[in-house]
């Protein structure tokens, strides 16, 4: 199963990525997670020990060597497997790659860091026998066409707020532009029937594949600086149902 996770800032992308990663490992998946947010928080949400993790995009010399320097020719298909091995960290069965921030050039440019990050996501999306979860920002600039084709789905996290739903509509449009066929919504922070009704009325054609309830345990975990993966039964049950639904949907895909 290869999934990219997007949505408005603060909507719960990192939390959902951490919950999915933890549950998938419990189900026996081999899980790789990529934190592609320039402000990385996935390691903390996954309960990784607090030692610093080298972000992929800080391997400056290697990136210049592999991709080419700014101003010169850019090589679009550099070898990246060894770079992934260098920066990946593993905790409780989850392999994590932290991307870090692109320091030069605008989003989606052909600058070496951007090319390398796209290439790494594409490389991991094509890896066999691995589940892949990519915690993105609201934009999709790190997903190239090839990753979009290799991924099973883009999950767009929404909460019962107008802004998150408007962002979801924009993301859906961007996904269509890069040829991402499956765009599925996951509702988060749902507190009962009024929220459910609001969401249902404003999804604008976005199909919901799961819904995670508002969880005091997640609020407390965040305040304690702890991991998002340890939650109450209601939230973990919702995550389990979401994975069931994804498995049913993507059964028979080559990627696992």
Ligand X SMILES: Nc1ncnc2c1ncn2[C@@H]1O[C@H](COP(=O)(O)OP(=O)(O)O)[C@@H](O)[C@H]1O
Q: Toward ligand X, which CB reaches closer, 58 or 222?
A: 222
Q: Output the six-digit token pair for 161.
A: 């707020």
214 contact, one of ligand X, Mg ion, none, CB 5-8 Å limit per kind:
ligand X
Contact positions with Mg ion (CB under 5 A) in 27-46: 37
Q: Toward Mg ion, which CB reaches closer, 63 or 102?
A: 102
Asked if 12 is part of the footprint of ligand X (rule: CB under 6 A), the reply reads yes
Contact positions with Mg ion (CB under 5 A) in 144-203: none
Give the Cβ contact number of residue 216 at 10 Å: 11
10, 179, 192, 237: which one contacts ligand X (CB under 6 A)?
10
Contact positions with ligand X (CB under 6 A) in 152-211: 188-189
Asked if 227 is part of the footprint of Mg ion (rule: CB under 5 A), the reply reads no
Q: How far is the C-alpha of 235 from the C-alpha of 217, rounded, in Å?
A: 9
Q: How far is the C-alpha of 200 from the C-alpha of 211, rounded, in Å?
A: 12
Q: How far is the C-alpha of 228 from the C-alpha of 219, rounded, in Å?
A: 9
Q: How far is the C-alpha of 54 from the C-alpha of 90, rounded, in Å?
A: 13
Q: Toward ligand X, which CB reaches closer, 74 or 217?
A: 217
Binding flags for ligand X, 215-234, as an x/- string (CB under 6 A):
x--xx--x------------
Asked if 14 is part of the footprint of ligand X (rule: CB under 6 A), the reply reads yes
Residue 256 CB, nearest distance to Mg ion (Å)?
Answer: 25
Q: Output the six-digit token pair for 51.
A: 């030692």
Q: Toward ligand X, which CB reaches closer, 76 or 163?
A: 163
In the complex, residue closest to Mg ion by CB: 14
3, 5, 8, 14: which one contacts Mg ion (CB under 5 A)?
14
| Residues 6 or more apart in contact with residue 90 via CB below 8 angstroms | 96
CA 203 to chain centre: 21
9 contact, one of ligand X, Mg ion, none, CB 5-8 Å limit per kind:
ligand X
- Give the containing element (helix H, strand E) for 213: strand 207-213
Query: Which string of DSSP letters, residue by residue, matches 52-96?
Result: ----GGG-HHHHHHHH--TTS---SS---HHHHHHH-EEETTEEE
1, 3, 15, 242: which one contacts ligand X (CB under 6 A)?
15
Q: Toward ligand X, which CB reaches closer, 80 or 154?
A: 154
DSSP code, position 140: -
Q: Output the six-digit token pair for 160.
A: 């019962």
Q: How far is the C-alpha of 183 from the C-alpha of 206, rounded, in Å?
A: 7
Residues that bind Mg ion (CB under 5 A): 13-14, 37
Residues that bind ligand X (CB under 6 A): 7, 9-15, 41, 188-189, 212, 214-215, 218-219, 222
């Amino acid at each position: 199963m290869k999934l990219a996770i997007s949505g408005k800032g603060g909507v719960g992308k990192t939390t959902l990525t951490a919950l999915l990663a933890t549950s998938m490992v419990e189900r026996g998946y081999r899980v790789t997670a990529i934190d592609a947010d320039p402000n990385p928080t996935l390691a903390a949400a996954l309960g990784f020990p607090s030692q610093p993790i080298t972000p992929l995009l800080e391997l400056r010399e290697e990136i210049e060597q592999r991709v080419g320097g700014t101003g010169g020719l850019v090589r679009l298909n550099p070898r990246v497997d060894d770079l992934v091995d260098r920066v990946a960290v593993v905790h409780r069965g989850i392999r994590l790659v932290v991307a870090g921030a692109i320091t030069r050039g605008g989003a989606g440019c052909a600058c070496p860091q951007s090319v390398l990050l796209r290439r790494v996501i594409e490389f991991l999306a094509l890896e066999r026998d691995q589940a892949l979860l990519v915690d993105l920002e609201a934009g999709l600039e790190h997903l190239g066409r090839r990753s979009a084709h290799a991924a099973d789905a883009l999950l767009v996290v929404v909460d019962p707020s107008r802004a998150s739903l408007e962002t979801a509509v924009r993301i859906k449009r961007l996904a269509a532009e890069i040829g991402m066929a499956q765009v599925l919504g996951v509702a988060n922070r749902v507190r009962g029937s009024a929220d459910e009704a609001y969401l249902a009325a404003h999804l604008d054609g976005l199909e919901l594949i799961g819904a995670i309830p508002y969880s005091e345990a997640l609020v407390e975990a965040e305040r304690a600086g702890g991991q998002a993966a340890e939650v109450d039964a209601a939230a973990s049950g919702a995550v389990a149902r979401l994975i069931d639904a994804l498995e049913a949907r993507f059964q028979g895909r080559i990627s696992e």
